[in-house]
Amino acid sequence: MLARKREAEPLAAGGVSDLEERLRELQAAGLHRRLRTVEGPQGPRIVLDGRPVLLLCSDDYLGLAADGRVRDGAARAALRWGAGAGASRLVSGTMALHGELERRLAAFKGTEAALLFGSGYLANLGVVGALAGRDGVVLSDELNHASIVDGCRLSRAEVVVFRHRDVEHLGWELARRRGRQALVVTDSVFSMDGDVAPLAELVEVARRHGARLAVDDAHGTGCVGPGGRGAVHAAGVQDEVDVVVGTLGKALGAYGAFAACSGVVARYLMNTARSLIFSTALPPPVAGAALAALELLVEEPERVVRLQANARVLRDALAHEGFAAPDSATQIVPLVAGHPERASRMCELALEEGVFAQAIHPPIVPRGTSRLRLSVMATHDAGELREAARVLGRAARRAGVPLPAAEPPAAGSASVAGEPPGAGSPPAAPPPPAARAA
Ligand SMILES: Cc1ncc(COP(=O)(O)O)c(C=O)c1O
């Protein structure tokens, strides 16, 4: 994050603006980003900035974004319905195609209804904002995705951040607010760590305290649970969660998102979720692509099995290289490097050997935990994942990233490379925690 806040200034003498100065600060902190260009469709192998690489950081987990049937679904919808929806859902933007996709999504998730949103970001803004209530309280896991954090901020409700996956802490905060309208919100599969929320326990605590529960299943949908139905199904609590948000832009290879919920909640969201009311409906080609992808997922659940098997292959190969084995089995595998420069160096070194896994820095992840966030695809093959692990092992060693399983750190040393112990991580013992803004 930037060191300090500044007043907006006009161009200073010599033509250097406050914005350029802030960009230099980001550069000095190793946090400056640039865009890399992919030449062609998503796939296990792509051409990146002119160089062929193995892609190990796409959320197109099932390889559907470039699938022929999905492309065909998009093309047919474009020809039949046009390029754009023309208006918001509540004005003239709702087409029969949207209704059909919503019915299929509801059937897939086993809910009464599903409501489309323009993206996962917009879905979380809308769902959290609408269900939190201005006088209510929303309780959010500290590692929730930024779209949930922003939904909390926009809701104008009281926001309480509970420790990551800490159900006891959540219960403690809920008990302190007895009698208030409360919404608990969590990622299912956490986007940067790949670990999974304790959904059954969250359901139990939320029910005990009369709170609603919303789960963002962006990285669970299509990836975990029976037939890829998601982490909520995997936990067996699909009938107990008030709203499940799923995205269409990750495992389903298209774009957009949906809230799967009861008919009443869907009607409530349609009438109150500002990101739905004030935004143009999903473009028909995107809805057509999502419909085709959903059909493929239902017809070919073996894609999900392949994804899960590939996740195991990569995790085992990384453990063989000495990387710490993260405590989960999903398709998202974080390799925490610590200091931003070290993560970026590791990324560049791996790229030189033809493996692309983008370095992720604060504010996307907590300070001191810059990392390569690897994501597996069902379309990778086991051989290339094992070779990628060897490349990443070499890159980590050359970048000076300690490999904990290969050489255990000395007692009392920092848990994260290049940072003092505890930097960027939550305190271990839970003293009564104070509410803070997300
Ligand atoms: C957990 C989570 N929720 C929501 C989103 C936003 O989804 P979308 O990309 O469709 O806006 C993301 C995107 O990365 C995510 O990781």
Residue 11 banded pLDDT, cuts 50, 70, 90: low
Can you tell me whether residue 258 is helix, strand or coil? strand
Q: Span 144-151, mean pLDDT?
A: 98
- Looking at the fold, whether 129 and 55 belong to one and the same domain comes out as no
- Looking at the fold, whether 256 and 282 belong to one and the same domain comes out as yes
Domain presence at residue 415: no
Residue 13 banded pLDDT, cuts 50, 70, 90: low
Residue 415 banded pLDDT, cuts 50, 70, 90: very low
- Looking at the fold, whether 344 and 355 belong to one and the same domain comes out as yes
Output the DSSP codes for 369-401. Answer: -EEEEEE--TTS-HHHHHHHHHHHHHHHHHHT-
Q: In the 3-class helix/strand/coil scheme, how is 73-112 assigned residue by residue?
A: HHHHHHHHHCCCCCCEHHHHHCCHHHHHHHHHHHHHHCCC
The one-letter amino acid code at 431 reads P
Domain presence at residue 3: no
- Looking at the fold, whether 280 and 174 belong to one and the same domain comes out as yes
The residue from 265, 299, 333 where one domain ends is 299
Q: Which of 140, 147, 155, 191 is catalytic?
A: 191
Annotation marks residue 250 as catalytic: yes
**pLDDT tens-place string over residues 325-359:** 777 899 999 999 999 999 999 999 999 999 999 99
Q: Output helix, strand, coil percentages for the chain, rounded to the nearest 5.
A: 40, 15, 45
- Looking at the fold, whether 144 and 158 belong to one and the same domain comes out as yes
Domain presence at residue 311: yes
119 CB within 6 A, ligand 1: yes
Count of residues making up the chain: 438
Domain presence at residue 354: yes
Domain presence at residue 411: no
Which residue minimizes the CA distance to atom 4 of ligand 1?
A: 120
- Looking at the fold, whether 281 and 331 belong to one and the same domain comes out as no
218 CB within 6 A, ligand 1: yes
Q: Which atom of ligand 1 is nearest to the CA of 144?
A: 1
Domain presence at residue 264: yes
Q: Span 287-298, mean pLDDT?
A: 98
Output the CA angle 316-318-322, nearest 5 degrees. 110
Cα of 256 vs centre of ligand 1, distance in Å, is 10
Domain count of the chain? 2
Q: Span 207-233, mean pLDDT?
A: 98
Residue 332: predicted pLDDT: 98
Q: What is the CATH number of the domain that holds 88?
A: 3.40.640.10
Cα of 120 vs centre of ligand 1, distance in Å, is 5
Which uninterrupted H or E stretch holds 140? strand 137-141
246 CB within 6 A, ligand 1: no
- Looking at the fold, whether 75 and 88 belong to one and the same domain comes out as yes
Q: Which atom of ligand 1 is nearest to the CA of 147?
A: 4
**pLDDT tens-place string over residues 37-74:** 999 999 999 999 999 999 999 999 999 999 999 999 99
Q: Which of 164, 250, 339, 361 is catalytic?
A: 250
- Top-confidence residue, 41 or 411: 41
- Looking at the fold, whether 159 and 269 belong to one and the same domain comes out as yes
Residue 421: predicted pLDDT: 30
Domain range for 238: 68-299
**pLDDT tens-place string over residues 223-253:** 999 999 999 999 999 999 999 999 999 999 9
- With the most atoms of ligand 1 within 8 angstroms of its CB, the residue from 61, 141, 145 to mutate is 145
Of 122-131, 261-270, 322-331, 385-394, the one with minimum mean pLDDT is 322-331
- Looking at the fold, whether 269 and 184 belong to one and the same domain comes out as yes
Residue 144 banded pLDDT, cuts 50, 70, 90: very high
Can you tell me whether residue 356 is helix, strand or coil? strand
- Looking at the fold, whether 136 and 242 belong to one and the same domain comes out as yes
Residue entry with tokens 């200091």: 339
Average pLDDT, the chain: 90
Residue 12: predicted pLDDT: 54
Residue 30: predicted pLDDT: 86
Cα of 74 vs centre of ligand 1, distance in Å, is 21
Q: Which atom of ligand 1 is nearest to the CA of 121?
A: 11
Can you tell me whether residue 199 is helix, strand or coil? helix
**pLDDT tens-place string over residues 64-100:** 999 999 999 999 999 999 999 999 999 999 999 999 9
Which residue minimizes the CA distance to atom 10 of ligand 1?
A: 120
Domain presence at residue 102: yes
Is the pLDDT at 412 greater than 70? The verdict is no
- Top-confidence residue, 327 or 271: 271
Q: Which long-range contacts (CB under 8 A, 24 or more apart) does 169-177 make?
A: 169/430, 169/433, 170/139, 170/202, 170/205, 171/205, 171/208, 171/209, 172/432, 172/433, 173/139, 173/433, 173/435, 174/139, 174/205, 174/206, 174/209, 174/211, 175/209, 177/137
Residue 408 banded pLDDT, cuts 50, 70, 90: very low
Residue 430 banded pLDDT, cuts 50, 70, 90: very low
The residue from 299, 317, 343 where one domain ends is 299
384 CB within 6 A, ligand 1: no
Is the pLDDT at 180 greater than 50? The verdict is yes
Residue 402: predicted pLDDT: 86
Residue 409 is given by DSSP the state P
Annotation marks residue 191 as catalytic: yes
Residue 170 banded pLDDT, cuts 50, 70, 90: very high
Residue 406: predicted pLDDT: 65
Q: Span 391-413, mean pLDDT?
A: 76
Contact 324, 183 (CB under 8 A): no
Q: Which of 98, 209, 219, 233 is catalytic?
A: 219
Is the pLDDT at 426 greater than 50? The verdict is no
Q: What is the CATH number of the domain that holds 57?
A: 3.90.1150.10
258 CB within 6 A, ligand 1: no
- Looking at the fold, whether 50 and 88 belong to one and the same domain comes out as no
- Looking at the fold, whether 222 and 241 belong to one and the same domain comes out as yes
Domain presence at residue 366: yes
